[in-house]
Structures are given as C-alpha cells and as structure tokens.
Amino acid sequence: MAEKAQLELAVREQSERVRQMKDKNAPHDQISEELSKLMELKAQLETNDGKHQFILKTPKGTKDYNPKQMAIRAQAFNTIINCFKRHGAETIDTPVFELKETLMGKYGEDSKLIYDLKDQGGELLSLRYDLTVPFARYLAMNKITNIKRYHIAKVYRRDNPAMTRGRYREFYQCDFDIAGQHDAMIPDAECLKIVHEILSELQLGEFLIKVNDRRVLDGMFEVCGVPVDKFRTICSSVDKMDKMAWEEVKNEMVAEKGLAPETADKIGEYVQLNGRTELINKLVQDVKLSQNKMALEGLNDMKLLFEYLTLFGVEERILFDLSLARGLDYYTGAIYEAVLIQSQADMQTQQNENCEPVSVGSIAAGGRYDGLVGMFDPKGRKVPCVGLSFGIERIFSIMEQKMEAANQKIRTTETQVLVAAAQKKLLEPRMKLVAELWKSGIKAEIMYKKNPKLLNQLQYCEETGIPLVAIIGEQELKDGVVKLRVVSTREEIDVTRENLIEEIKKRTCQS
Amino acid sequence: MAEKAQLELAVREQSERVRQMKDKNAPHDQISEELSKLMELKAQLETNDGKHQFILKTPKGTKDYNPKQMAIRAQAFNTIINCFKRHGAETIDTPVFELKETLMGKYGEDSKLIYDLKDQGGELLSLRYDLTVPFARYLAMNKITNIKRYHIAKVYRRDNPAMTRGRYREFYQCDFDIAGQHDAMIPDAECLKIVHEILSELQLGEFLIKVNDRRVLDGMFEVCGVPVDKFRTICSSVDKMDKMAWEEVKNEMVAEKGLAPETADKIGEYVQLNGRTELINKLVQDVKLSQNKMALEGLNDMKLLFEYLTLFGVEERILFDLSLARGLDYYTGAIYEAVLIQSQADMQTQQNENCEPVSVGSIAAGGRYDGLVGMFDPKGRKVPCVGLSFGIERIFSIMEQKMEAANQKIRTTETQVLVAAAQKKLLEPRMKLVAELWKSGIKAEIMYKKNPKLLNQLQYCEETGIPLVAIIGEQELKDGVVKLRVVSTREEIDVTRENLIEEIKKRTCQS
C-alpha cells in the first residue's frame, strides 16, 4: 500500500509537470519525453493496483516505424547504399547475436551496455553492439585478408535513450569497411570521401568532418608526461571537449584522474589546436612532438591523408582536430567523426517556423583498427582495417522533421491503378482485370468489397495517391473497353482492353 | 577428469563416424552436420583442458551470409518485395524484441522456443517469434483498423536447427497481411494469389498450395465426437499427416491422446479427402457435417474462395485438403500452406548430376486470424486479419543449389569501371579521375596501391567481373584522353575526357 501511495504521488507530480510544460509552450520533444514517463508511471500504478493491465508498448528505447516513416527511411538507405555500391563494395550479413565471448574485451567501459540473452541452456549469447566486431570475427573465421564490404543492420545498446534526438537502444548502423594490406592512407581517404559524399547527398545542412590519429594522441600524451596506464582514461576526458570547456576537462583530468596540473596544461596547448596541412607541418617541426616516433608516424600519415583529400576535392569540410579522441578501444590510427553544424541562419529560420531544431551530435564516425581481426585469429595474424559507420536514426529524425516542415506529401505505396466498378455486381470482371494487370507487372489494387461505391473508390485513390483508375461499367464491358481516369485532372478516356496495359505504362512512367 | 575422458571418447567416436560417412560417400549435407558436431566436441574438450581456447563460430543455428550468398538472397527478396508492392502494400518495421508479455499466450506449446533476454534490470524482453504477433500489437497500439502491409525481418526460434535443409534459429520471414473489415474471402483469395505469383516467379519447381478452414476442422471434430477440450491436441495430430501414414496418426490419437477408436475412424474418413469445388459441394451435402453451423460456414467460404481463385486463374495448383491443420493457435478461418513437389523427373536429373535433392517442406504458409488484435485491445475490439508468410532461408537453399549446379557466375559488386595506371607515379591522376566518375554517379574503383602493375589491375577486373578499365598513361595524359578497355573483348579505344562519362554510361547500360 505504501508503494501504491508513492506511485500515485509520482503520477500526480508527473501530470503536473507535463501540464506546466504545455502551459509554458515547452519544446515538443521535451513534452513528449515527459508524457511517456507519465504513461509508464500510470501503467505501473495499474499493475500495482491488482487489476493487472497489459501495457501496450514497445520496449524502452525502441520504436515502430509506420509506413510514412519507412518511406523516409528507405530514401536515406538508398542514398547510403548507392554510395557504398558506387565505391565497389560487396555486402555481407551476420547474426543479430554473437557468442558472448566474441564481444568480450572489445568495448572497454561500454561493455556494460551490451544486451545479454537469458541462459536457456546451450551457448551464452549477446546481441551485437556494433557491426565492426562481428565483421572482424567474420574475417578471422573465414581467413579473409582482403575485402571491401558494407553491412547495414540493427545493433543494440542498453544506453539511456533520448529518442527525440534520434538516440535509441535498437538502431541501424550503415558500415563500410576496407580490409587488407594496402598503401598508406589511400583506403582511409576513400572512407572520408564516402562520408563526404553521403552527407552532401542527404542535404542535412552544413557539416564538418573532424580527423585525428590515435598515434598522434598517444605520442602527445607521452611527451606531455601522462603515465602510460592513464592514456585511455585521459583520452576519454579529451573526448569530452566537444561538450565541455577546456577548463572543465582539465579539472576532470587533475581532480578526478590525478594528473599533474602542468601535464594537463601541456595537453591543453595541443588539444585546442585544429587546422589542415599548415598545422600538420607546424607539428612536424614541434620540438617535443617530433621527437616521438609514434606521433611523427601519425603526423606524416595525416599529411598524406590531406594530400589525398585534396585530390578527391573534399579537404574543405575536413579538419584535423587534436581534441578528437573517440571512445572505442580498438582504433589504432586515423579516427574521424562527422558533425552537423547548425548555422545561425538555420536556427533563425527554424524559430520563425516555430519548429524545434534537432540536435543530433555526431552523425557518422570511424577509423582504422589494425589489431581487431588479430584478436580473433588463433595465431594472431593481423588484417589491417579502416571503416566508417552512419547512424540512420539521427539522419532519419532530421529528414522527417524537414519533410514535416515542408509539408511534403509522401506516398507509402506504389500502386499505379485502382480497378474500379461503376455499378453493382461487377466483382467478377474487376477480379479478372486486376489479375491481368498483375500479370503484366502493373501495380494494381481492387477494393475488398463486392459492390463498392464509385465515389468511395475514387476517394481511396485521392487518399493514397493512386494516379489512375480503370473503371469498368456495363457499357464498357459491352464495348470491350475500360474507362481510364487520371485522378489529378479527372480526365477520362476509353481504352480498348488490348491497349490498356500499354496506356497505363505510358502514363505512369511519366508521373 | 572423468568428464575429460568422456569428452575424449566422444571426440574419437565422432571422428570415426565422420570417417565412415566419407568412406561411404554419404550425402554432403549429412557429413557437414556430423563434422560440425565434431568441431563443437573438440572445442568443448579444449575448454575443459584448461587451455581455454576461443571458439571462432556463429551461435548454434545461425550463419553468416557471404557476398555471393547475399547476391542470391537479394534476388529472392526482390521478387517477393516486387510482388507485395504490385499488390499495393505499405511496409512497417517493429523492434527485434518485444515485452515478454506481448508474446505470452500466443503460440501454445511452441512458447518454449522463444528466446528471452537476460534480466539486466528494467523490462522483461523476448526476441520476436514471428511477425504476426508484433503486427497485431502494432495495430492495437495505434488503433489501426485498416491496412495492407508487408514486413520483412528476422525472427528467432530455439528450435532444433537442420541448417542444410534451410531450418535455422535465426531466419527471415516475409509477411504480407490485410487487416480490416472486408467482404468474405476477397482478401483471402488475394493472399493465395500472391503465394502463387511468388512461387511461380521464383521458379523453384512444381508446387501445391493446400487450403483448409479451422471452422471446417473444428466442426468435423464436433460431429465425429471429439471432446471440445481435445480439439487442439487432435488438430496437431492431424497436422502430422504429411509426414506420417493415417494408421500412425490414428494410433497417436487413440493410444496417446485417449480418443475412442470409432471417433478416430470417423475423423479418418474426412481427413483423407482432398479436392476442389466438387468435394466442397459433396461435403455441403454431407448428412453429419452439414448439420454443424461452424463447418457449414467454413465450407461456404471455401466454395467462395475457389470461385475467386478461378477468377484469378490460380485454382489449378490450389487444393482443398482436410488434413491441413497448421500448428499456431491464433488461426480462426482459412489456413494454407505451400509445398514444393519433387517430381520423379527432378529426382532423376539430380541423381544423375550427383547432387542432393533439397527437401524443404513447407515454403510459405498463412491464414486468417480474426481474434489476435482483440487480444491486445483493452476493450477487446477485433480487427479481422488474413496474411501469408514466406521463409526465405528455404528458398535461398534451393536457389543456391540450383545456381551451383548450373555453375552460374554471380557478381557481388556493381562496379562499372576500374581506373587503372599504365605506368608508375600516376596515383594523383587516378584519384582525380575516379573522383570525377563518382561525381557523375559512375560506380568506379581504384586499386589501393601507389604503383600497381597494369597486369594486376586487369586481373582484378577479370576476377570481380568489372566490365571496363579506364587506363591512364603518360601519353594519354598528354593527349587529354583515357584508354577505355573492354575487359571481355580486350578492345581498347581512346576517349577524350569530355566524352568519357557518356561513353562509360553507354557501354555499361548494355552490359
């Protein structure tokens, strides 16, 4: 009973919170997040009430895609897949779960976010956390040393979802990777070129691709005097520089992680730098950094990378940024991350239209991981790899919002023609005609009524965007014709049965 | 140590079994199943040995798809999706897991095959077992009463896998369903028409679609004197008639399930019947069956169904079969199942070619489930539904085998042209040219070497099926041309840079 009283209180408080947010015209996404909390509380209360009520919902952090959302998602997938194919990639598929052991020791601290399956006897399994580790497992298992592949599939992370910003527990990754022993930075440059092409084609707005190199980071840590066992933890502090000011990051390094303030200051001098070839040249001359073999290797590769990016014509939106660190353990060389830039102009337009700007953070990322395949190979044989990954949910959030703002109509079917009856008792000829159209590859429907009204049939076309209606009436049957109606113009012409298929094809390849 | 000795014995025995099978030239799929058992045993032994060795494999009952297999699978998906779109369907997507509660009480005895996720705090989740229950949950949750949708996604069953026959624990289902209050049997007929179209287009060989009606079955049980509480269990005995002789099925009914022998005999008279309209007409006249309201309703609908199937021109391969029962609990009306028929001629051809016939059992199935959505609706509001489901893995097994037998070459990339260098030191112009081609939407690659040999570049095209090579040499650069080589004919022509794109497009849309 105490628990019930607590729940009731929580429901009342949450209702009040939602009411106040609505009164204050709070952003729509914030209200809807609070609303879903309220619904969960109410459901808990009902369960607690004894009258166990079934909660009709998808699991936390997941969502259904309705037909309209699927149509938008398909557009994004198309752009991405076409680009991957344009660059000559094959595709593979792997199971949604892996042996738990396969995923162990690959993700550092993030391992706690892995979904495990219940032990129902047999192997211990986990849902995949990304597509990179299954890819490395696939290469080692099949002894593949050379492949360029893409893989588009769902991955799972027990993270705190922020669904209105496109952060889910189940989400698609679109990965492209090049595995094999190749000449330095040519595959790396192609990966960045691909990120650039896709972001340009998707037209999500201005973007910037930050690059860095793990060897430059580690070399920098070394010359600044960071103890080797603190490299990874200091690295993850650096990774926060896109969300926190340097002073805060420094404080974390010194107060929380026990770094000497002088060391942190030295790091600070480096990680606030960004630029292109001129910066790389400067750092190659840097008295301390140039003494470090690892850093110098990384810098020379960065220099080569920018040469290649210039040849590909994409260097303008790519920035060498010493604060980019990336979370994952397995990177060994170049790392990169693409972010969308909300220009001042964008913000104003959106506010004028009273529509919330979607803040999505990083939208694609990747890097070089030369050691991962070797972790799976019994003899530790290495296969150098470099790749990239797009998160479709964040892209989808932006595309959906843009389309809503532009009030764009989206068709969810591809039906070209509805076979309709002008009078009653014409189900038989309707069924025969629609079967004829299907046979010729025409996308056609009939309404599932014996005697539908013509008006309802025409209305169905208007609602679903079907461009043509093939109307059968008693007169048409006698004359051996079909009345073909163009929904948008209401134009009607009689077409003989022999010419019907061709006429429909002619009229729908234009529309 | 005792356990280790046991394992060692098991490994020895299994090795011997595999050796004997090889000696006897046993079928390849049987050997490979025994081989994988041997590998599992060996892996267990190693773990047990103390020297814990990582087992490089996918989870039991799952497999990776390599690029070649993906290309075949894509063909099957294309045929299926095109057909679904031709019939005017939209598509949706749902999460791979559902609340455990959503799946509870929907699958009868098969519920034990559901994969549960580990309780890591939060909701209790299970991997979806089919796409039908998530669809019904989606309809109820969004209060949708009218939709025609397809959904292609993976489902999960902790079944005993028989992977060489296309039976997996993770497999794709391709579902098409029509939800809504419609006139009798029109949507049902369209579902059967779709099964017919897809099986015809896939060209997997002869097929037969068996149909029955749950009301006819239940009515038959009633008039034969089966107690109501035994309907479902007797139903699942009937379902075994495609694998067992009637005498065996009868024995199960009487000895195991305690049915009176006379009752079983009466059932036997009915379930051995099959036919089309003439049989339905006979049963409508049947003294006992015609007295049963439920059975009569089902029979009248079956009659209507065959009228519509005749109008659609597909009645020839569809058979009313009183032994078809289907396992799932949720069917309420028409049920159907498509099977491939191995003709005598097929078998002989295959034996001559020394290639195993793939026995795959049912390849598509479905039926009407008018009560399922109501199970999710708080007020029990019903949405009548009828649908069908294709299993792609079984289709894929057959397609893969057919292609292997025919020695068909399958390309795994779509690359149209390789940008190649005739001499050393031409990475720069190669990169510039390939970027130009990408910009024009041409699928192009370069080799990731600074100075690749021309022979290696040409060989790469031969191996991967790239039809064209754009060769740059010092002379070509001077002349402002590119040497375009057709790989198959070895024909070479000089093309100016301005005409290159057009020339490539012209030559690759023909090939």
Give the number of other Cβ atoms within 10 Å of residue A126's Cβ: 22
Stretch B397-407: mean pLDDT: 89
- Nearest CB to A158 within list B98, B120, B137: B120
Q: What is the pLDDT of residues A168-225, one digit of tens each?
A: 999 999 999 999 999 999 999 999 999 999 999 999 999 999 999 999 999 999 999 9
Query: How would you classify the pairing of strands A207-213 and A318-321?
Result: parallel
φ, ψ of residue A116 to 5 degrees: the values are: -95, 150
Task: Work out the mean pLDDT of chain B and round it to a whole number.
Answer: 90
Does residue A112 belong to the interface with chain B, where contact is any CB pair within 8 Å? no
Enter the tokens of residue B124.
Answer: 């209790």
Give the number of other Cβ atoms within 10 Å of residue A410's Cβ: 14
What lies within 8 Å, CB to CB, of A253 at 6+ separation is A234, A237, A259, A264, A267
Does residue B197 belong to the interface with chain A, where contact is any CB pair within 8 Å? yes
Ramachandran sector of residue B425 (left: φ over 0; alpha: ψ -120 to 50; beta: rest): left
The answer, yes or no, to whether residue B328 has pLDDT greater than 90, is no
Does residue A465 belong to the interface with chain B, where contact is any CB pair within 8 Å? no
User: What confidence score (pLDDT) does residue A346 get?
Assistant: 55
The percentage of chain B sitting over the pLDDT mark of 90, rounded to a whole number, equals 72
pLDDT band at A11 (very low <50, low <70, confident <90, very high): confident
Give the number of other Cβ atoms within 10 Å of residue B118's Cβ: 17
Give the number of other Cβ atoms within 10 Å of residue B111's Cβ: 14
Query: How would you classify the pairing of strands A170-179 and A147-156?
Result: antiparallel
Name the CA dihedral angle for A181, A184, A185, A190, rounded to a multiple of 10 degrees.
Answer: -40
The answer, yes or no, to whether residue B128 has pLDDT greater than 70, is yes
Q: How far A508 CA sits from the closest chain B CA (Å)?
A: 14
Contact between A141 and B56 using a beta-carbon 8 Å cutoff = yes
One-letter amino acid at A247 equals E
pLDDT band at B496 (very low <50, low <70, confident <90, very high): very high
Beta bridge partners of A172: A154
Q: Which DSSP helix (H) or strand (E) runs through B432?
A: helix B427-439
User: What confidence score (pLDDT) does residue B32 get?
Assistant: 67
Tokens 């990179």 found at? A132
Tokens 């397995």 found at? A330
pLDDT band at B41 (very low <50, low <70, confident <90, very high): confident
* CA distances for B292 relative to B213, B216, B245, B369, B371, angstroms: 14, 9, 28, 21, 21
Contact between A125 and B59 using a beta-carbon 8 Å cutoff = yes
Q: Which DSSP helix (H) or strand (E) runs through A419?
A: strand A417-421
User: A16-25, A98-107, A376-385, A436-445: which has the minimum mean pLDDT?
Assistant: A16-25
Q: Show residues of chain B in contact with A378, CB under 8 Å.
A: 53-54, 56
User: What confidence score (pLDDT) does residue B233 get?
Assistant: 87
Residues in B 401-420 with any Cβ partner in A closer than 8 A:
412-415
Do the beta carbons of residue B283 and residue B289 sit within 8 Å?
yes
Nearest-angstrom CA–CA distance, A349 and A511: 32
Residues in B 147-166 with any Cβ partner in A closer than 8 A:
147, 149, 154, 156, 158
Contact between A70 and B55 using a beta-carbon 8 Å cutoff = no
The answer, yes or no, to whether residue A238 has pLDDT greater than 50, is yes
Give the number of other Cβ atoms within 10 Å of residue A383's Cβ: 23
User: B168-182, B197-211, B229-243: which has the minimum mean pLDDT?
Assistant: B229-243
Residues in A 209-268 with any Cβ partner in B closer than 8 A:
none
- Nearest CB to A85 within list B63, B98, B443: B443
Nearest-angstrom CA–CA distance, A32 and A360: 17
Q: What is the pLDDT of residues B82-115, one digit of tens each?
A: 999 999 999 999 999 999 999 998 887 788 999 9
Q: What is the pLDDT of residues B330-354, one digit of tens each?
A: 899 999 999 998 765 555 555 444 4
Higher pLDDT, A46 or A166: A166
The answer, yes or no, to whether residue A353 has pLDDT greater than 50, is no
User: A178-182, A431-435, B225-229: which has the minimum mean pLDDT?
Assistant: B225-229
Contact between A64 and B95 using a beta-carbon 8 Å cutoff = yes
φ, ψ of residue A335 to 5 degrees: the values are: -130, 150
Higher pLDDT, B105 or A444: A444
Stretch B477-494: mean pLDDT: 97
pTM: 0.87
End-to-end CA distance of chain B: 64
Query: How would you classify the pairing of strands A385-391 and A417-421?
Result: unpaired
pLDDT band at A28 (very low <50, low <70, confident <90, very high): low
Longest dimension (CA), chain A: 96
User: What confidence score (pLDDT) does residue A378 get?
Assistant: 87
Nearest-angstrom CA–CA distance, B390 and B207: 14
Q: Show residues of chain A in contact with B308, CB under 8 Å.
A: 431
Identify the CA nearest to B84 among candidates B132, B150, B4. Answer: B150
Do the beta carbons of residue B140 and residue B373 sit within 8 Å?
yes
One-letter amino acid at B264 equals A
> Predicted ipTM?
0.87
Q: How far A185 CA sits from the closest chain B CA (Å)?
A: 9
Contact between B431 and A54 using a beta-carbon 8 Å cutoff = no
Task: Work out the mean pLDDT of chain A and round it to a whole number.
Answer: 90
- DSSP for residue A440: T
Q: How far B441 CA sits from the closest chain A CA (Å)?
A: 7
Contact between A448 and B413 using a beta-carbon 8 Å cutoff = no
Nearest-angstrom CA–CA distance, A205 and A398: 10
Does residue A186 belong to the interface with chain B, where contact is any CB pair within 8 Å? yes
- Nearest CB to A120 within list B59, B158, B312: B158
Tokens 């991405």 found at? A80
Nearest-angstrom CA–CA distance, A356 and A358: 6
Give the number of other Cβ atoms within 10 Å of residue A266's Cβ: 18
**Nearest chain A residue (CA) to B185:** A448
- Burial readout B142-176 (b: 16 or more C-beta within 10 A, e: otherwise): eebeebbbbbbbbbbbbeebebbbbbbbbbbbbbb
User: What confidence score (pLDDT) does residue A46 get?
Assistant: 60
User: What confidence score (pLDDT) does residue B222 get?
Assistant: 95
